[in-house]
Structure 1
Amino acid sequence: MGSGKSHIGKRLAEKINQKFMDFDAEIEKMENASISEIFQKKGEIYFRKLERKILKELTDIDEDAVISLGGGTPCYGDNMELIKASKDATSFYLKLNIETLTERLETEKDHRPMISHLKEKDKLEEFIRKHLFERGFYYNQSDHVIDCNDESAATIISKIQEKLG
């Protein structure tokens, strides 16, 4: 969350002439509701099951695309195994330090259901620190880890393109 997956993914897709799919937008379209509304009305367990179903569908499509997953997607159930088992998928972890993520998410927290209740900056930082610790195991299984600290979007995209060959 807050690493720039959607922004980078969209620009990368344009640059390499592929379709771009924002995972959260796909879920919202399917449910005809925002991610926040899904969490509020149906709960996180419902959301994670839906997320798994859509991930399976996307890994089965026979079309080149850049897909920006949700921050929690690889961390639930067997999602990371599903991603890694997809023969045509290459996964990237856009890695940022806690301070940068805190600064970015502080201005966006009202629109993000997982953090909208965190009113103080130190509580937000604590949340990010805890989640990165818990999720690091999954994130670090990505095919490539890209250090995005102090890097422009153009530089990050170039790094990804290098890894793609």
Structure 2
Amino acid sequence: MKIVLIGYMASGKSAVGKKLASILKYDFIDLDSYIEKKENKTVSEIFSQNGEIYFRLKETECLKELLNSDLDFVLSLGGGTPCYSNNIKTIFEKSESFYLKASINTLFQRLSNEKDHRPLVAELDSDKLKEFIAKHLFERAPYYEQASNSIITDGKEVTEVVDQIKKRLI
């Protein structure tokens, strides 16, 4: 089984994915990390040296490679992955997908505390950060909403979200 976690940055994809994979005894794969290993560069280096179009092509290539494999895994996607190259269709056809849905306020709170580790938002002040999140969610929600399942993560611990996913897998 291939389980794919979709959602905006800081929605909990990595934390939930690692815990879920551990419980199911599946591999956990972070798509960005997978790309970094294949390219032998960080995502930031790929963007700066090769551009976003190159990154998005590699992202789609790696996503298809994983989804067409015989492996069982939990895959955490980058926030933009479902929005490009008809990736959401491939995800929907080849996996059980879960949109980890967090409100703008939850994402704002989490990202405010993680700005140093998030290059995309590191330089934004509080007002700009909230606006940035709202704009991105508005653009990306139609893609995220195509996931097979949607789970609201606001106010929930990682274990609660994992339990909800497990119940839907049965």
Give TM class, smaller chain: over 0.9
Within 5 Å, which residues of 2 pair with 1:1-165? Answer: 1-86=9-94, 89-118=95-124, 120-165=125-170
For structure 1, the 5+ residue unaligned runs are none
Distance in 2 of aligned mates of 1:14 and 1:115: 30
Identity across matched positions, percent = 50
Return the letter of the residue paired with 2:157.
S
CA gap 1:43/1:111 in 2 versus in 1, 3 angstroms: farther
Flag the structure with more relative contact order, 1 or 2, with Cα contacts below 8 A and sequence separation at least 6.
2
Instruction: Tell whether the 8 Å contact from 1:93 to 1:142 is kept in structure 2 after alignment.
Output: yes
What's the TM-score, normalizing by structure 1? 0.94
> Which runs of at least 4 in structure 1 moved beyond 4 Å after TM superposition?
none
SS of structure 1 residue aligned to 2:51: helix
Distance in 1 of aligned mates of 2:39 and 2:121: 21
Q: Deviations over 1:3-42 (max 9, x none)?
A: 1101110110000111111111101111111112212222
Instruction: Tell whether the 8 Å contact from 1:98 to 1:128 is kept in structure 2 after alignment.
Output: yes
Deviation at 1:104, TM superposition (A): 1.0
Distance in 2 of aligned mates of 1:39 and 1:129: 23
Q: Deviations over 1:86-120 (max 9, x none)?
A: 1xx100000111011011112323333332332x1
Distance in 1 of aligned mates of 2:122 and 2:35: 20
> How many matched pairs?
162
Distance in 2 of aligned mates of 1:34 and 1:61: 24
Distance in 2 of aligned mates of 1:97 and 1:136: 11
Return the letter of the residue paired with 2:152.
D
Instruction: Tell whether the 8 Å contact from 1:39 to 1:113 is kept in structure 2 after alignment.
Output: no
After superposition, the CA RMSD in angstroms is 1.1
For structure 2, the 5+ residue unaligned runs are 1-8
Deviation at 1:44, TM superposition (A): 1.2
SS of structure 2 residue aligned to 1:54: helix
What's the TM-score, normalizing by structure 2? 0.91
